[in-house]
Amino acid sequence: SCAPPVKRLRCRLQLDLADLQKELEKSQSVFPENPSVWVKDLASYLNYKLQAPRSDPALSQHPHDYPYSLVGRELRGIIRALLGRAAGVLELFFDHCIYTMLQELDKTPGESLHGYRICIQALLLDRPKIATASLGKYLEVLRSHQNRPAKCLTVLWALGQAGFADLHEGLKVWLGVMLPVLGIKTLSPYAVSYLDRLLIGMSAGPGCCWGPLRVPSLQEQLRRLYPRLKVLAFGARPEAALHTYFPSFLSRATPSCPPGMKKELLTSLSQCLSLDPLSFGVWRQLYTKHLSQSSLLLNHLLESWDSSSKTELLRRMRGRGFPWQRLLLVLLVFAAGFLLHDVRTHGSF
Residue that wins the pLDDT comparison between 346 and 298: 298
pLDDT category of residue 209 using cuts at 50, 70 and 90: very low
Task: Summarize the confidence of residues 15-19 as an average pLDDT.
Answer: 86
pLDDT at site 149? 95
pLDDT tens track for 80-98: 999 999 999 999 999 999 9
pLDDT tens track for 122-164: 999 999 999 999 999 999 999 999 999 999 999 999 999 999 9
Residue 197 CA, chain-centre distance (Å), reads 3
Torsion on CA atoms 286, 289, 294, 296, rounded to nearest 10: -140
* Residue spans per domain, the chain: 1-127, 133-147+162-234, 237-349
pLDDT category of residue 1 using cuts at 50, 70 and 90: very low
pLDDT tens track for 293-341: 999 999 998 888 764 455 555 554 455 455 555 555 556 666 666 666 6
pLDDT at site 230? 73
User: What percent of the chain has pLDDT above 70?
Assistant: 76
Residue that wins the pLDDT comparison between 324 and 195: 195
d(CA 272, CA 238): 8
pLDDT tens track for 257-285: 888 888 888 999 998 998 998 999 999 99
pLDDT tens track for 31-67: 999 999 999 999 999 999 887 777 788 988 888 899 9
d(CA 188, CA 328): 35
- Helix then strand then coil, % of the chain, to nearest 5: 75, 0, 25
Burial class (CB in 10 A: 0-12, 13-18, 19+), 37: middle
pLDDT category of residue 342 using cuts at 50, 70 and 90: low
d(CA 63, CA 93): 24
Q: Own/partner pairs for 256-259, CB < 8 Å, 24+ apart? A: 256/206, 257/203, 258/203
> Which of 240, 313, 251, 237 has the alpha carbon at shortest distance from 277?
240
Residue type, 298: L
> Which of 347, 242, 330 has the alpha carbon at shortest distance from 294?
330
pLDDT at site 339? 60
d(CA 170, CA 164): 7
